[in-house]
């Protein structure tokens, strides 16, 4: 009897800890938007604010506008813990419920879902993460990764460094260190980095950080001290980020020569290192701060009414705004799909068309209530990414300050490589379905 | 030939050429080693008392650290929060004994092991429910732990000694020695060893199993709190800290599950060995070998001493 009680307790305890799949019924007259999130586990520090931002913006549209085009959004979260297997479980649990789009929020999960998307007719939106080559719309009609690929990000980081050093030619003989989470995400930009190194004659030092070593990077940074790279670029996530910033500061590495990708630039990444993190740089493509009409509406319609898990001091922080931006992309694609299909209640195939012709101009950002929040987004059948502009921000000790203008990726370098990589991916994943989906904007 | 040079000559040439980096590596390894020894002790204590590998040790680190920071964030002064956290760990020890261990006396060890899985998920759920999943900044300075570093000149270079690392090494050493004395030189220690040998025999000579279990689980809780403070100060306090407990596994393989000196020496060997391995030989294979190199060290030791560093040779007659 006692053993039975214990086992029951353990099972209940397990249920508290593990993911809760979306099980609610999906009404036919709603727009089902599942959000794959992670509020638990080693990557929760990065996952929570993004989950909050995504949820709050969509919930605000429901509360303020009654949804999109008069149809309520059915928002359901599925906890992945940033675990590939759990992410696929989440996908399987929602795919029969007419999801408009899935947001894996993990490159690993995205890679697992890419082959499934075209079979199940569910678009995958991997906003500035995932497989860079999936930007090639002719080969990946169901995958979208605006506003930038990781290769764009790497080219921008290198462009920024080159600008500080006096041009790409001045990089010859320099050493650039690359510290990365040793998973699919962290390894993704390596081909482009090596390609630039070959072209411009700089050396690359690799510093992989396995997930189990995220909080124990002492020897990595000792290697950095030995190798003395002129610049460090980081592709970190979760607990890896604050540890790396702290260790860099402890090692005495010049923080203004240390640049993180856009996923290594939350307040929580820099804050634990305190004053010592001052000067740390990161790429960003969304604004930071809460002084936007749309975010004020979130506060009014969602947070003030207790319909959010967001702590007040998190509103307007970088990753919260990142989540808001992700939700804007979803919402605008739904609006676009409704417009081009003349339907109020759309399905995944309609959403794919909405994503494939998505345009968020400067004017539209303003209309949404987020003026100058991000660079314009321009997706076409041919280009599922847009290769938008990114800026560099710097940690002041208290928050982020924008320290550059909008920087465009080195497209002439990135795009041909993307096409090669797409071909390579397809050749390795035969038989790969040939695109049969019509193109609304006639770019294909 | 080039490979042989890279393996057998180049690393040693680097050590001689840059002694400051060698000293720094050794220092970092020793600090990590002491902390690994501390984590391993948490496992050893519970294993000695109940024959159970406590899968929940990692989450206890997170739970203790989150409780400390959470209490502080709710306005409790730092030292009071520390004391209250100790009370919480004591309550947890009582709870584990009363609700988990007592009903399972004399059950096969695998059942107890599985129960610690249940405890892990329960503590994850409870921790997230109470404290949320947001990372928190460890209140190191509020607890009087130093910040900054000393820069010591070595040869033509320097060695940077972080004050927090020095404090961590001192505190961990005191705890390791204190726990070693408590469990080797006191009545409680003798009772603990008796319980480890046989629950039934210990009960028959009047040793209170319940009391011993509460003591060891509380001691493991204190160890978890110290670990959480030290590692939390190095990055942040989040559920990722749970992974740190896995660092104790090669230490346990090397030192044995029942030996307190084994945990200490094993911790130091693993700490220093993995840092040297990662720093000098890691670049040969692209770096990032620290996580598995520790296991290589442990397994190489086991080739020569299958019973572990301080384990007794088991001879079974057929």
Closest CA to B230 of B32, B44, B47, B26: B32
Rounded Cα gap, residues A5 and B304, in angstroms: 45
Rounded Cα gap, residues B119 and B96, in angstroms: 8
- A23 pLDDT band, cuts 50/70/90, is very low
| 3-state secondary structure at position A357 | coil
Residues 116-155, chain B: which have Cβ within 8 Å of A?
117-122, 124-126, 128-129, 132-135, 137-138, 149
**Cα B168–chain centre separation:** 13
Instruction: List chain B residues with CB under 8 Å of A209.
Output: 288
Flag whether residue B300 sits within 8 Å of chain A, measured between CB atoms. Answer: no
Q: Chain B: give the shortest CA distance to residue A77, in Å.
A: 15
Q: Chain B: give the shortest CA distance to residue A209, in Å.
A: 6
CB nearest A271 (choices: B137, B149, B282):
B137
pLDDT digit string, tens, across residues B151-194: 899 888 889 898 988 998 899 889 888 887 887 788 888 888 78
Mean pLDDT computed over B266-275: 92
Closest CA to A189 of A261, A124, A114: A261
CB contact under 8 A, B290 and A216: yes
For B149, name the nearest residue in chain A, comparing CA atoms only: A250
**Would you say residue A416 has pLDDT above 70?**
yes
**Chain A interface mutation, best of B135, B227, B241, B294, highest count of A Cβ atoms under 10 Å:** B135
A169 or B288: whose pLDDT is higher?
A169
| pTM summary value | 0.85
CB nearest B103 (choices: A6, A213, A272):
A6
Domains parsed from chain B with CATH numbers: 2-304 (1.10.3470)
Rounded Cα gap, residues B210 and A439, in angstroms: 72
pLDDT digit string, tens, across residues A270-312: 988 888 999 999 999 999 999 999 999 999 999 999 999 999 9
pLDDT value, residue B315: 66
**Would you say residue A15 has pLDDT above 60?**
no
User: What's the maximum distance between 2 C-alpha atoms anywhere in chain B?
Assistant: 67
Report chain B's mean pLDDT, rounded to a whole number: 87
| 3-state secondary structure at position B184 | helix
pLDDT value, residue A197: 97
Rounded Cα gap, residues B309 and B32, in angstroms: 19
pLDDT value, residue A350: 96
Residues 196-235, chain B: which have Cβ within 8 Å of A?
231, 234-235
CB neighbours of residue A72 within 10 Å: 15
CB nearest B288 (choices: A6, A208, A246):
A208
| 3-state secondary structure at position A207 | strand
Pair A222, A253: CB distance under 8 Å: no
| CATH top-level class of A20-148+288-388+420-428 | alpha beta
Rounded Cα gap, residues B190 and A194, in angstroms: 61
Tokens representing residue A441 in the block: 């904007």
**Which stretch of A6-20, A196-210, A408-422 has the lowest confidence by average pLDDT?**
A6-20
What are the domain boundaries of chain A?
20-148+288-388+420-428, 150-284
Q: Chain A: give the shortest CA distance to residue B137, in Å.
A: 6
CATH number given to A150-284: 3.40.50.2300
Closest CA to B57 of B302, B312, B197, B245: B245
Q: Chain B: give the shortest CA distance to residue A44, in Å.
A: 6
Pair B279, B25: CB distance under 8 Å: yes
The conformation of residue A102, written as its DSSP 8-state character, comes to: B
Pair B37, B263: CB distance under 8 Å: yes
pLDDT value, residue A16: 39
- The β-bridge relationship of strands A359-360 and A258-260 is unpaired
**Would you say residue A188 has pLDDT above 50?**
yes
A2 or A354: whose pLDDT is higher?
A354
For B161, name the nearest residue in chain A, comparing CA atoms only: A250
Q: Chain A: give the shortest CA distance to residue B118, in Å.
A: 4
- The answer to whether domain A20-148+288-388+420-428 and domain A150-284 are alike in fold is yes
A9 or B251: whose pLDDT is higher?
B251
Report chain A's mean pLDDT, rounded to a whole number: 91
pLDDT digit string, tens, across residues A190-232: 999 999 999 999 999 999 999 888 888 988 999 999 999 999 9
Mean pLDDT computed over B232-255: 83
**Would you say residue A120 has pLDDT above 60?**
yes
- Residues 6 or more apart from B209 whose CB is under 8 A from it? B105, B195, B199, B202, B203
């Amino acid at each position: 009897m006692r053993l039975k009680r214990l086992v029951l307790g353990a099972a209940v305890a397990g249920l508290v800890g593990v993911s809760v799949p979306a099980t609610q019924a999906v009404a036919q007259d709603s727009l089902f938007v599942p959000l794959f999130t992670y509020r638990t586990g080693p990557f929760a520090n990065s996952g929570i604010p993004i989950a909050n931002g995504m949820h709050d913006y969509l919930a605000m549209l429901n509360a303020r506008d009654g949804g999109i085009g008069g149809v309520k959004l059915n928002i359901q979260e599925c906890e992945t813990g940033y675990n590939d297997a759990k992410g696929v479980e989440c996908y399987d649990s929602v795919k029969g419920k007419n999801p408009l789009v899935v947001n894996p929020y993990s490159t690993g999960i995205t890679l697992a879902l890419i082959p499934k998307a075209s079979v199940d007719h569910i678009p995958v939106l991997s906003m500035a993460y995932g497989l860079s080559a999936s930007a090639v719309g002719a080969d990946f009609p169901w995958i979208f990764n605006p506003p930038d690929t990781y290769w764009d990000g790497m080219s921008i980081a290198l462009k920024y460094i080159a600008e500080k050093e006096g041009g790409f030619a001045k990089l010859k003989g320099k050493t650039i260190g690359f510290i990365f989470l040793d998973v699919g995400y962290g390894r993704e930009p390596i081909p482009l980095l090596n390609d630039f190194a070959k072209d411009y004659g700089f050396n690359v030092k690799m510093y992989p950080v396995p997930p189990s070593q995220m909080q124990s990077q002492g020897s990595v940074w000792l290697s950095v001290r030995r190798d003395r790279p002129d610049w460090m670029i980081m592709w970190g996530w979760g607990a890896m980020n604050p540890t790396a910033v702290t260790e860099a500061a402890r090692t005495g590495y010049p923080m203004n020569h240390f640049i993180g990708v856009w996923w290594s630039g939350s307040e929580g990444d820099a804050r634990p290192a305190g004053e010592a993190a001052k000067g740390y740089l990161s790429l960003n493509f969304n604004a930071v701060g809460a002084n936007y009409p749309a975010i004020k509406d979130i506060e009014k319609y969602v947070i003030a009414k207790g319909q959010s898990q967001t702590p007040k001091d998190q509103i307007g922080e970088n990753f919260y705004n990142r989540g808001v931006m992700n939700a804007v992309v979803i919402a605008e694609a739904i609006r676009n799909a409704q417009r081009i299909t003349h339907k109020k209640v759309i399905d995944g195939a309609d959403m794919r068309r909405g994503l494939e012709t998505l345009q968020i101009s400067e004017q539209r950002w303003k209309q949404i209530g987020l003026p100058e929040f991000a660079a314009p987004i321009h997706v076409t059948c041919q280009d599922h990414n847009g290769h938008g502009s990114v800026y560099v921000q710097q940690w002041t000790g208290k928050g982020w300050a924008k320290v550059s203008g909008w920087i465009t990726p080195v497209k002439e370098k990135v795009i041909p490589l993307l096409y090669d990589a797409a071909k390579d991916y397809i050749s390795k994943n035969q038989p790969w379905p040939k695109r049969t989906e019509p193109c609304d904007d006639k770019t294909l | 030939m080039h490979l042989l040079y890279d393996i057998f000559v180049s690393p040693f040439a680097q050590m001689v050429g840059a002694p400051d980096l060698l000293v720094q590596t050794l220092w970092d390894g020793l600090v990590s080693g002491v902390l690994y020894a501390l984590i391993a002790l948490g496992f050893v204590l519970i294993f000695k008392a109940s024959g159970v590998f406590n899968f929940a040790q990692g989450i206890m680190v997170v739970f203790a650290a989150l409780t400390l920071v959470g209490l502080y964030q709710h306005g409790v002064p730092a030292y009071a929060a520390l004391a209250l956290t100790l009370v919480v760990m004591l309550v947890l020890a009582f709870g584990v004994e009363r609700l988990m261990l007592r009903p399972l006396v004399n059950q096969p060890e695998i059942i107890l092991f599985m129960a610690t899985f249940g405890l892990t998920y329960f503590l994850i759920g409870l921790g997230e429910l109470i404290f949320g999943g947001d990372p928190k900044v460890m209140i190191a300075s509020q607890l009087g732990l130093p910040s900054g570093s000393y820069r010591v000149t070595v040869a033509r270079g320097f060695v940077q000694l972080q004050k927090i690392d020095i404090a961590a090494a001192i505190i961990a050493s005191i705890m390791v020695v204190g726990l070693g004395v408590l469990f080797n030189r006191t009545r409680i220690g003798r009772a603990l060893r008796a319980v480890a040998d046989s629950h039934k025999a210990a009960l028959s000579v009047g040793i209170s199993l319940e009391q011993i279990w509460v003591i060891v689980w509380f001691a493991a809780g204190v160890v978890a709190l110290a670990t959480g403070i030290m590692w939390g100060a190095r990055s942040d306090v989040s559920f990722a800290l749970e992974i740190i407990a896995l660092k104790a596994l090669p230490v346990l393989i090397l030192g044995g599950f029942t030996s307190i000196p084994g945990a200490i020496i094993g911790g130091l060997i693993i700490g220093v060995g993995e840092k040297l391995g990662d720093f000098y030989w890691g670049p040969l294979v692209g770096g990032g070998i620290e996580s598995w190199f520790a296991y290589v060290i442990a397994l190489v030791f086991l080739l020569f001493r299958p019973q572990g560093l301080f384990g007794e040779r088991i001879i079974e007659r057929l």
